[in-house]
C-alpha cells in the first residue's frame, strides 16, 4: 500500500535524552489529501471534517454506549470502528484517529476524565509549583498502547491517509488549569501573566507530551498530523506570540524531520494567522471568520490552507449550504494547496446526510 523510510530523530533526542527511530510513511502518489497538504497538483479537492468521528453519527451513538470517552479510546476495536464509520459514510479523503487531546495527560495519571456532555474535567486542577510533580514523560508504547494498536488496525484497513493529532500546550493547559471547559480562561491567563515561570514550566511539559504522542502516532503509520490549538483565539496576537507560540513551535519542529505534513489549527486565529504559520506548519487551518483568499494573503507562499465552511450553516436548507460550499471553493481560487474542511468541528446535531452531500459537491468541483 505504501513504502516506509527510517529516520533518526534529533529533536526528540534533545527533548527526551534518548534517540528515537521513526518510521515516516512516504506520500501515496494517489492521495489528493497528501498532495494538497504539500500544495502539489492533484485531481480533486480533498475533504475531511474535524470531529467527523462520533457526535453526529447514529451508528456512533449505537456502539459507543454510555460513560466516558476515555473508556472508548482505551478499546482499540471500538476506536478503530468509530474512526472508520465516517470514512465509510462520507467518502472523505482522510481519516482522523478517534482519541482526544487530553489522552496523553490522562495516560500519565494527571487525574482527569472526559464527562459526556461537558468535556475534559480535572479532579485537581493545576495551580502551583507542586503540581509540576504530577507530570512525568509519556512513554507512548507503555502508556498509550491502545492508541497505537488502534493506529495499527487502521493502517491495515484504510486506503486513505490517517491523520494523527495532539492538543497544543495552550489549549490542553486551559483544561488542566481551569479544571473544565471555560469561556473566559481567567485562571489560565492569570497564571500566564502572574507567574510566567510556572506557566512556561507547565507548557513545556505539555509540549513534551504532545511531541512523544505525535512521534509515536507517526511511527505507527499516521501520514499527517494536526496540532489542535482550538482555544488560541482567546489570546491577543502579542500574548499568543509570547506565551503559546514557542511551545507549539517546539512541537511542530520536533515532528518536522519525519516529513509528515503538519496541520496547525485554532479557532479565532485569523488576526494572527501569520503566527500560526510561523510556528511551523505545512497546512494552516482557517476558521469561518475570514475567507480563504484573505487567509492566503496572511501566510507565506507555498503553505496550504484547510477550511473553512461555517459548521453552523449545515442546518440551513440545502441550497444555502451548497452556495456556501461553492463560496469556499471560489475563495480558494483553484490553488492546489487547499483541503476542504469546516471552520471548526462537526456539531452534534448535524444531519449526516448533509455532510455526505457536501463531500459529493466538493469532489464534483473542477476549479
Positions in the binding site for ligand 1CP (CB under 6 A)? 50-55, 64, 69, 96, 98-101, 114, 116, 119-120, 165, 181, 228, 230, 345
Least distance (Å) between residue 223 CB and ligand 1CP: 16
Catalytic residue chosen out of the listed positions 15, 20, 60, 64: 64
Catalytic residue chosen out of the listed positions 28, 38, 55, 289: 55
Is residue 55 annotated as part of the catalytic site, yes or no?
Answer: yes
The residue among 69 and 245 lying less far from ligand 1CP, judged by its C-beta, is: 69
Is residue 139 annotated as part of the catalytic site, yes or no?
Answer: no
Catalytic residue chosen out of the listed positions 90, 175, 240, 243: 175
Is residue 28 annotated as part of the catalytic site, yes or no?
Answer: no
When CB distances to ligand 1CP are compared, the closest residue is 119
Nearest-5° Cα angle at 102, 183 to 83: 110
The residue among 337 and 343 lying less far from ligand 1CP, judged by its C-beta, is: 343
- The dihedral formed by the CA atoms of 2, 21, 265 and 329, expressed in degrees to the nearest 10: -20
- The dihedral formed by the CA atoms of 280, 309, 315 and 85, expressed in degrees to the nearest 10: -50
Least distance (Å) between residue 15 CB and ligand 1CP: 23
The residue among 176 and 328 lying less far from ligand 1CP, judged by its C-beta, is: 176
Is residue 357 annotated as part of the catalytic site, yes or no?
Answer: no
The residue among 16 and 211 lying less far from ligand 1CP, judged by its C-beta, is: 211
The residue among 99 and 258 lying less far from ligand 1CP, judged by its C-beta, is: 99
Catalytic residue chosen out of the listed positions 15, 20, 93, 100: 100
C-beta neighbour count of 349 within 10 angstroms: 9
Least distance (Å) between residue 330 CB and ligand 1CP: 26
Least distance (Å) between residue 21 CB and ligand 1CP: 27
Is residue 100 annotated as part of the catalytic site, yes or no?
Answer: yes
Q: Which three cell numbers stand for residue 54?
A: 462520533
Least distance (Å) between residue 51 CB and ligand 1CP: 4
The residue among 36 and 121 lying less far from ligand 1CP, judged by its C-beta, is: 121
Least distance (Å) between residue 89 CB and ligand 1CP: 12
- Catalytic residues, which ones? 51, 55, 64, 100, 175
Amino acid at each position: 500500500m505504501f513504502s516506509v523510510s527510517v529516520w533518526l530523530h534529533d529533536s526528540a533526542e534533545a527533548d527526551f535524552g534518548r534517540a528515537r527511530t521513526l518510521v515516516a510513511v512516504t506520500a501515496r502518489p494517489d492521495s489528493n489529501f497528501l498532495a494538497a497538504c504539500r500544495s502539489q497538483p492533484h485531481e480533486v479537492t480533498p475533504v475531511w471534517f474535524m470531529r467527523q468521528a462520533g457526535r453526529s453519527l447514529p451508528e456512533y451513538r449505537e456502539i459507543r454506549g454510555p460513560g466516558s470517552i476515555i473508556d472508548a479510546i482505551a478499546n482499540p476495536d471500538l476506536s478503530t470502528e468509530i474512526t472508520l464509520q465516517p470514512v465509510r459514510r462520507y467518502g472523505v479523503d482522510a481519516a482522523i484517529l478517534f482519541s482526544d487531546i487530553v489522552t496523553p495527560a490522562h495516560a500519565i495519571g494527571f487525574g482527569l476524565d472526559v464527562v459526556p456532555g461537558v468535556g475534559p474535567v480535572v479532579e485537581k486542577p493545576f495551580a502551583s509549583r507542586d503540581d509540576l510533580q504530577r507530570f512525568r514523560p509519556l512513554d507512548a508504547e507503555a502508556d498509550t498502547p491502545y492508541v497505537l494498536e488502534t493506529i495499527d488496525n487502521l493502517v491495515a484497513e484504510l486506503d486513505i491517509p490517517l491523520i494523527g493529532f495532539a492538543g497544543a500546550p495552550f489549549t490542553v493547559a486551559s483544561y488542566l488549569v481551569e479544571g473544565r471547559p471555560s469561556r473566559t480562561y481567567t485562571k489560565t491567563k492569570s497564571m500566564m501573566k502572574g507567574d510566567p515561570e510556572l506557566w512556561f514550566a507547565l507548557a513545556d511539559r505539555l509540549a513534551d507530551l504532545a511531541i512523544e504522542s505525535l512521534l509515536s502516532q507517526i511511527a505507527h503509520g499516521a501520514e499527517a498530523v494536526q496540532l489542535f490549538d482550538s482555544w488560541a483565539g482567546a489570546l491577543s496576537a502579542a500574548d499568543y506570540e509570547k506565551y503559546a507560540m514557542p511551545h507549539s513551535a517546539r512541537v511542530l519542529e520536533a515532528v518536522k524531520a519525519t516529513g509528515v505534513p503538519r496541520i496547525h489549527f485554532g479557532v479565532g486565529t485569523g488576526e494572527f494567522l501569520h503566527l500560526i504559520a510561523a510556528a511551523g506548519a505545512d497546512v494552516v487551518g482557517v476558521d469561518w471568520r475570514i475567507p480563504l483568499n484573505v487567509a492566503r494573503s496572511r501566510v507565506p507562499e507555498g503553505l496550504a490552507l484547510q477550511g473553512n465552511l461555517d459548521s453552523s450553516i449545515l442546518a440551513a436548507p440545502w441550497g444555502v449550504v451548497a452556495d456556501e460550499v461553492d463560496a469556499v471553493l471560489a475563495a480558494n481560487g483553484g490553488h492546489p494547496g487547499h483541503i476542504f474542511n469546516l471552520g471548526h468541528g462537526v456539531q452534534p446535531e448535524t444531519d449526516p446526510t448533509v455532510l455526505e452531500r457536501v463531500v459529493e459537491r466538493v469532489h464534483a468541483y473542477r476549479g
